[in-house]
Structure 1
């Protein structure tokens, strides 16, 4: 295996090579990184075109008693005219996409280059903005996408073969999320019409799934737009796509029109809904019953009670198949709302045994559970059972009913599930058992999940060992590590043979509860049942020893692996490298990794970064990222690890430089790296950057973490207005989290030196008046302690008044804090008058533990108030 530049740098560093050689190595690595990150910067003249909207032929909707829609006067074309005006207005500001006739391949090459390099946003740029001196781009389509050059390296040759195999179906796998991502990217750059033309140039046949991707993109943009005209423009683009589907002979099914109609329902666009529903029925008459589902959702959404009742009454007019399908659609709409009265009305009409899809039946049973209609549920279950519906499907419906009953904890859901099965004289299916186990595990009810697993094993079903995996993971999440023994005991009791992954998980639980004897016993048991101990099992034990800082025992595990003939893997070396105490050990283990032929994974590179950063060798930590063997797909993760290592070790300037490099490449760092930057950026005048970093966090949990840290920064540097603005955002998303952060804020004020009690007083006012939240005792205790620290008796009186306003009773600790604050001003008369003015309500049975420092007159007043005092040191 060829040695990487990183490995050469390690060897050079360990052998103390000349500075000239080290500089040359670093320069070569930097050059390789620049070559990889660089590339052409072509521009292209591209823009989207618009089609004129052709109004659909109008028909009446919905048909009530007939199987086909009747033809009546059409709906007014005002809606389409408005869409046309918006579309023409927007199209005037955009150039249309016209491939160059003489060199279509070259033009498409410019399109591909522009997309891949992210240079031009076609949807926002006009043709006049493109420079006249066009950058000459190599014809991408004339070049092979995959090189046929022979490789001497075996691993590289295998990668090449894999790429050639993928080439055969790269553009044929319509289910691929990679293709969907590429198509969305092209649509954002080129527009819908040009995207279809673009893929046709590549020989890609446009099908229904491609159209659905573009239609959903239009709907997402319409939802995100706050401007009404922009939203209408997206509706117009979606309609153009429907017209294009019609022209190409594609059938417009619910998968295509469903999301579109659902958007119109959410926006309460009744006129537009009627017009487009007519269009869809005209193109696909079979869809009118399913469109009835969306129409009922529309009238429920706008609250048109007259229309709702009219449709309900029409559902039972005759027993034709079309009318039954329409009634079924109305019923499903009521299942997703709180219309219990209408639901009961249609349940008398619809025969659940004739519902077209099991998915729809499941929706009905979920609504029965939500409304607690157990009589109906038992009736329908018996009807389904008598008509030959399989036990597995019925068991699944029972689960859907039980899980939907409101205000039931996991154990109560299990009890209801078992009871209904007993009434029907049937056994639960293994799939339903698995759902119950998952439910209990998600609720951290590990004991209940294990009881269900026991019942499942006793029922005689063909239970696999994977059924216990969610329980093991739940034990780890809830830190109930001691459950490993009853779990393993149950496996052995029911003669279930754990596989390698299960043994690894069990061993990991043992190490986390520091039961290494049990972990080694599991290794022996694995060998006895035919599962030879693997490297992942040994790694679990090694990781446990390293967590406890028992390095010598961890190295003993490495020796045991060698004796057992188990070869270490990249995870083993990542543990070893992460826990090195000197540079020589790092190089030694990395060299062993290379000699063993172990491929360096992202975990190895991250371990190298953290190890060198821990030793203060930041140049070598940066060198890791420049290694030419770092997988491209993991480069952002590895750079994010570098950001965390640098920021946590005080190298904020370098960490921000790496962050800027990632952003300039059009990528986003890992959330943990962003949070690390927010945590360590504590100098003044960094608020703007912190706000930008906070916008990087999309996931709610990460955003909460980052937001709380920015709020504490604002409190520390007295940015009260910014702290309140962020608290407002936090309150809107999670009120409970807002209260937690408020307590942290006042704790931050108490920790800050010098103290700024005025900031605390201003925050109390804003929280009460602007956020309409109450102040907790914890927050007031921190503020009162801050007054003691600042020796500010005036602010202490204001805080004491907040205790009274919040209805919080006095306690000894708050009394002592206030007394110390008044004592610091040497105003003993104020202390005595304050204590006497307080109303104390104690019973003779109330024991109050007080410190020896409590003044005697305090003790006297408390005893007179009825308290029994117990002194402690």
Structure 2
């Protein structure tokens, strides 16, 4: 539908509905708002006039959308979140989120004047939220209660992402005090979880402040929140005070820490857990007097009653590491390990003993605890914690130490401790050692669970040791481990990543021999493998094999089929099959539909998929991200940015893959601010490194050296190896854009000042750029950098410098330099001759 017609229809619908609010009963006003403010369904849109150009026939588009409507499992509503520019708009956002049917949010208009009773949102805190109508009979009472239930705002899960976002929006724009007032208007008491959310928000904001006086503003708000909790009689637990005290310990804020400690001690006297934070703070700041005072307190009176405090003080010393080794040893002398009630405390002790390499003391405690009624069942786990904490030991030595210690004590290692040891091996990328442990478990007579293979398979997949799938599968078969569906699918996927389709099919054959039934998920993995290899014929053969095995395709099957369709008619065919088979339309199906239509250039239909109101709202932003990537990849940057703005207006974050795709294709001059904004969207380290590298190259391309250096500095702070990896591509970009040669040399000096070390490749790119720019003066500067970096001149370096001199018409200097070039290799002589032919003809 043309944009103007759609806008007109939407405007008329809203106009009609606004009048309905005046006359509608309170019982129905919210449902009217939901129907009227939803995006216009495609089925309700006028049919385009004949002759309108289209990538596909109207029948195809409408047919698919009709199938989507029929097959949708739930009726969900798309939420359009507000702009973040004012408290009025925040109120609008809150209303749009909370007015939904439980977890479903209705679409809210952007106007700040809209409200359910004609009241402006700026007065939302003064709005009479619940009616006090009188009831004259049972029927009227039921109607009134039903109406009030619809008006009430209900939080089903206060720990959900939506609730946290809501709390953050309120705290950002209204402040903590107004936020509390607002939630008190919601018809339920503000509880501990709400306070904890606000406390965490304030602490996060304090942590982002560069100046201490700015952070104290937020700490003062936290103090007010705790006072409010105390006034209301709420319990102050570690979930509330722990994040605050950890923040103050990290920042070493002595006055603030003492103030809060006194507050918590008054409200929760004799709380041993407070003692942990107090002791650790004084250890952190090195106040020996305070440390001695706390230790003296536990020595006074009945020593037995002080063990809860002793455990927490002991935890603080263990966390302090080797710096407090002497204090830890003295503390261990006065306590009885058998009287410690916390397994967490004992684990910390043995980790510290391992880190400090106190073997004799560790063995002493192992024997003490190896007593019935104490920690006998957990000794094996404690041994594992100890041996894996020993420094300077290779994995094989750790395993040997684990086995020998068990033999010395005469105890059998537990399955739990073996699993910890396997995870330790996998974290060190030692898959062979992990498999040896599985063999050891089997020889010990233990009933080995199939779950022990999960970290091993994960390590193979992420560590690139794909070939290890053969011994893993062999161990599983030899020890008759009963596999789960997930284990078998992961094994099949590893075979497929090696392009060993025969091995993958052998797994399915073995499953049948074990009197187990292959699953659709196993065949789906093989189908996906064939599609990755662009072998569509074999992929479709897998579908036939599933039919012979009496297995029905599921949503995952159809998502692969739709994403790899060879024509639009196939899309309709698969949608019809899904509808007849009553297969659920998952988010992966919607993503596949968007990608499939985008592949055929039918972006109008791809957009209609998103506009369809049957798409569940919780899928919407991910599917929009797929459309945004497709638009950007096909040069439709303007439309992609429109989708991006729409996602941001909804208050959501875009998917990392979509953000990187947009960064990759947003490479025109003047887009730096937008690229930096997209970079902020990337939260996990891997995607941020990828996005940062792309923005860095953009800065080099457009001679934005200062910004490039700022990004490189941030990259170095996060990961030095990643910073070193991006430096050669940066100088390659200088070579591609030789007009930036001067900036390139300045960049070289700045990179060195950052403590990074440009490689020979970087200097080679810079010297080659001098050749393209015919700049011998800069070439001599680069030439000297080889010597400064301690890099010997090789034949290729000489030839590049020779080219630079010839290109700059410095024939005398070139003649002297060519004498120094080693000519043992005939290819070198060929390159010299080629340079002379290129630059000396006509001289």
Indicate the residue corresponding to 2:756 in structure 1: 773
Report the alpha carbon displacement of residue 527 of structure 1 after superposing the two structures with TM: 2.1
Of 633, 654, 670, the residue aligned with 1:685 is 670
Report the alpha carbon displacement of residue 677 of structure 1 after superposing the two structures with TM: 0.8
Indicate the residue corresponding to 1:783 in structure 2: 766
Indicate the residue corresponding to 1:613 in structure 2: 598
Report the alpha carbon displacement of residue 780 of structure 1 after superposing the two structures with TM: 0.8
Distance 1:437 1:652, change over 3 A: same
Indicate the residue corresponding to 2:26 in structure 1: none
Indicate the residue corresponding to 1:819 in structure 2: 802
Aligned partners of 2:353 and 2:362 also within 8 Å? yes
Deviates more, 1:657-666 or 1:274-283: 274-283
Indicate the residue corresponding to 1:282 in structure 2: 266
Indicate the residue corresponding to 1:359 in structure 2: 344
Deviates more, 1:39-48 or 1:654-663: 39-48
Report the alpha carbon displacement of residue 433 of structure 1 after superposing the two structures with TM: 1.6
**Aligned pairs for 1:390-539 within 5 A:** 390-539=375-524
Deviation digits for residues 22-57 of structure 1 (CA, Å, limit 9, x no counterpart):
9x99xx99xxx9984459999999999xxxxxxxxx
User: What secondary structure is seen at the aligned counterpart in 1 of 2:467?
Assistant: helix
Of 267, 276, 281, the residue aligned with 2:251 is 267
Report the alpha carbon displacement of residue 191 of structure 1 after superposing the two structures with TM: 4.9
**Aligned pairs for 1:281-430 within 5 A:** 281-287=265-271, 289-309=272-292, 311-312=294-295, 316=299, 320-337=303-320, 338-386=323-371, 388-430=373-415
RMSD: 4.3
* Alpha-carbon distance in structure 2 between the residues aligned to 1:47 and 1:622: 27
**Aligned pairs for 1:92-171 within 5 A:** none
Indicate the residue corresponding to 1:55 in structure 2: none
* Alpha-carbon distance in structure 2 between the residues aligned to 1:557 and 1:282: 69
Of 16, 23, 27, the residue aligned with 2:57 is 16
Deviation digits for residues 254-293 of structure 1 (CA, Å, limit 9, x no counterpart):
4443333333333333334334333333333322x44333
* Alpha-carbon distance in structure 2 between the residues aligned to 1:6 and 1:851: 71
User: What secondary structure is seen at the aligned counterpart in 1 of 2:370?
Assistant: helix
Indicate the residue corresponding to 2:731 in structure 1: 746
2:733 matched to 1:728?
no
Instruction: Give structure 1 stretches of 5+ with no counterpart.
Output: 49-96, 98-105, 123-129, 144-166, 859-873
Q: How many residues matched?
A: 750
* Alpha-carbon distance in structure 2 between the residues aligned to 1:747 and 1:396: 53
* Alpha-carbon distance in structure 1 between the residues aligned to 2:223 and 2:447: 51
* Alpha-carbon distance in structure 1 between the residues aligned to 2:247 and 2:83: 39
Aligned partners of 2:563 and 2:596 also within 8 Å? yes
Instruction: Give structure 2 stretches of 5+ with no counterpart.
Output: 1-40, 113-118, 133-150, 836-843
Report the alpha carbon displacement of residue 851 of structure 1 after superposing the two structures with TM: 4.2
Distance 1:244 1:136, change over 3 A: closer
**Aligned pairs for 1:612-631 within 5 A:** 612-631=597-616
Deviation digits for residues 750-785 of structure 1 (CA, Å, limit 9, x no counterpart):
234x6542232121122234x243321121122122
Report the alpha carbon displacement of residue 185 of structure 1 after superposing the two structures with TM: 5.2
Distance 1:137 1:37, change over 3 A: farther
* Alpha-carbon distance in structure 1 between the residues aligned to 2:98 and 2:596: 41
User: What secondary structure is seen at the aligned counterpart in 1 of 2:585?
Assistant: coil
Greater helix proportion: 2
Indicate the residue corresponding to 2:563 in structure 1: 578
Aligned partners of 1:14 and 1:587 also within 8 Å? no
* Alpha-carbon distance in structure 1 between the residues aligned to 2:553 and 2:660: 33
2:698 matched to 1:713?
yes
Report the alpha carbon displacement of residue 247 of structure 1 after superposing the two structures with TM: 3.9
Report the alpha carbon displacement of residue 592 of structure 1 after superposing the two structures with TM: 2.4
Distance 1:566 1:836, change over 3 A: same
Report the alpha carbon displacement of residue 174 of structure 1 after superposing the two structures with TM: 6.7
Report the alpha carbon displacement of residue 700 of structure 1 after superposing the two structures with TM: 2.3
Distance 1:261 1:488, change over 3 A: closer
2:782 matched to 1:799?
yes
Of 847, 850, 853, the residue aligned with 2:830 is 853
Aligned partners of 1:546 and 1:554 also within 8 Å? yes
Indicate the residue corresponding to 2:3 in structure 1: none
Report the alpha carbon displacement of residue 132 of structure 1 after superposing the two structures with TM: 10
Report the alpha carbon displacement of residue 641 of structure 1 after superposing the two structures with TM: 0.5
* Alpha-carbon distance in structure 2 between the residues aligned to 1:405 and 1:850: 55
Aligned partners of 1:44 and 1:111 also within 8 Å? no
* Alpha-carbon distance in structure 2 between the residues aligned to 1:369 and 1:522: 42
Q: TM-score, normalised by structure 1?
A: 0.76
User: What secondary structure is seen at the aligned counterpart in 1 of 2:791?
Assistant: coil
Distance 1:371 1:117, change over 3 A: farther
Deviates more, 1:235-244 or 1:725-734: 235-244
Indicate the residue corresponding to 1:737 in structure 2: 722
* Alpha-carbon distance in structure 2 between the residues aligned to 1:324 and 1:775: 57
* Alpha-carbon distance in structure 2 between the residues aligned to 1:15 and 1:169: 45
* Alpha-carbon distance in structure 2 between the residues aligned to 1:477 and 1:267: 36
Report the alpha carbon displacement of residue 318 of structure 1 after superposing the two structures with TM: 6.0
2:227 matched to 1:243?
yes
Deviation digits for residues 384-404 of structure 1 (CA, Å, limit 9, x no counterpart):
113643444222222222232
* Alpha-carbon distance in structure 2 between the residues aligned to 1:606 and 1:20: 16
Q: Which has the higher contact order (CA 8 A, sep 6+)?
A: 2
Indicate the residue corresponding to 1:646 in structure 2: 631
2:807 matched to 1:830?
no
**Aligned pairs for 1:557-596 within 5 A:** 557-596=542-581
Report the alpha carbon displacement of residue 681 of structure 1 after superposing the two structures with TM: 0.9
Report the alpha carbon displacement of residue 670 of structure 1 after superposing the two structures with TM: 0.9
Indicate the residue corresponding to 1:542 in structure 2: 527
Deviates more, 1:191-200 or 1:132-141: 132-141
Report the alpha carbon displacement of residue 854 of structure 1 after superposing the two structures with TM: 5.7
* Alpha-carbon distance in structure 2 between the residues aligned to 1:714 and 1:345: 58
Deviates more, 1:134-143 or 1:386-395: 134-143
* Alpha-carbon distance in structure 1 between the residues aligned to 2:82 and 2:741: 57
Report the alpha carbon displacement of residue 335 of structure 1 after superposing the two structures with TM: 1.1
* Alpha-carbon distance in structure 2 between the residues aligned to 1:553 and 1:43: 54
Report the alpha carbon displacement of residue 633 of structure 1 after superposing the two structures with TM: 0.5
Report the alpha carbon displacement of residue 495 of structure 1 after superposing the two structures with TM: 1.4
* Alpha-carbon distance in structure 2 between the residues aligned to 1:534 and 1:427: 38
* Alpha-carbon distance in structure 1 between the residues aligned to 2:81 and 2:128: 15
* Alpha-carbon distance in structure 1 between the residues aligned to 2:575 and 2:96: 44
Deviates more, 1:731-740 or 1:711-720: 731-740
Aligned partners of 2:153 and 2:186 also within 8 Å? no
Distance 1:433 1:848, change over 3 A: farther
* Alpha-carbon distance in structure 1 between the residues aligned to 2:357 and 2:791: 41
User: What secondary structure is seen at the aligned counterpart in 2 of 1:339?
Assistant: helix
Aligned partners of 1:6 and 1:626 also within 8 Å? no
User: What secondary structure is seen at the aligned counterpart in 1 of 2:357?
Assistant: coil
Of 205, 229, 232, the residue aligned with 1:221 is 205
Aligned partners of 2:77 and 2:107 also within 8 Å? no
Deviation digits for residues 477-505 of structure 1 (CA, Å, limit 9, x no counterpart):
23333222222221121111222222222
Aligned partners of 2:716 and 2:723 also within 8 Å? yes
Aligned partners of 1:481 and 1:509 also within 8 Å? yes
Distance 1:300 1:118, change over 3 A: farther
Report the alpha carbon displacement of residue 354 of structure 1 after superposing the two structures with TM: 1.8
Aligned partners of 2:315 and 2:348 also within 8 Å? yes
Distance 1:118 1:605, change over 3 A: closer
